[in-house]
Amino acid sequence: MQIFTLERRLMSWSSASGLVGCTYNNLKDACIRGHRDKILFIDFDFLTINPETCLKQLYEFIEEPSFQHDFNNIEQYTIEKDSEHGLFSDMHTIRKKLIPVQDDSMKILGSFYSSFSSFTYDFNEI
C-alpha cells in the first residue's frame, strides 16, 4: 500500500502534469490561443450565492432558453467512484440544496495554505 502525504498530493495535483496543474495550463492555453469566447468560467461562490443570475448567464452563453430550477431539491443522477481516483471521500456527492459553502481550505491545507492562498487567476485578462 502506498501512502501519500498531503505535501506529496499537493505537489502531484498542482504539477504541470497533475490533475489541477494540467487543467489550469490547458485552460490558459485555450485562452491564449484565442478561444476565451468559447469558455464560460463560473465562480463556485457566485453560483451558490446567486444561482438564478449565474444560470441566466449560462443559458445566455450557450444561447438556450432558460427555465426555472428548484435549488432546494437537487437530484443526483450520476455516481462517481472517488476511490477509482485515489480519493477516499465523497467529493462528488451532490447536496440536495444549493447553499453557500464555508471555505475550509485553511483547515484542509494546514501549513501549506500560504503556498496556495496567494494564487490568483483571471482568464478574462488573457
Cell (9 digits) for 62: 450557450
Query: In terms of Cα–Cα distance, which of 95, 90, 114, 88 is closest to 4?
Result: 88
Q: How far apart are CA 58 and CA 95, in angstroms?
A: 21
For the full predicted model, state whether its pTM sits above 0.75.
yes
Specify the range with the lowest mean pLDDT, choosing from 11-15, 16-20, 86-90.
86-90
Query: In terms of Cα–Cα distance, which of 103, 105, 106 is closest to 45?
Result: 103
**Confidence class of residue 65 from pLDDT cuts 50, 70 and 90?**
very high
User: Residues of 50-79 as b/e, b for ≥16 C-beta within 10 angstroms?
Assistant: eeeebbebeeeeeeeeeeeeeeeeeeeeee
Q: State how far the alpha carbon of 103 is from the alpha carbons of 10, 80, 88, 100, 108, in Å.
A: 18, 23, 20, 9, 10
**Average confidence (pLDDT) over 10-27:** 92
Per-chain mean pLDDT for the chain: 89
Question: What percent of the chain lies above the pLDDT cut of 90?
Answer: 63
The reported pLDDT for the residue numbered 96 is 95
**Average confidence (pLDDT) over 97-110:** 92
The reported pLDDT for the residue numbered 83 is 75
Q: How far apart are CA 60 and CA 84, in angstroms?
A: 35
One-letter identity of residue 39:
I
Q: State how far the alpha carbon of 9 is from the alpha carbons of 14, 82, 86, in Å.
A: 8, 15, 10
**Confidence class of residue 2 from pLDDT cuts 50, 70 and 90?**
low
pLDDT value at 1 more than 70: no
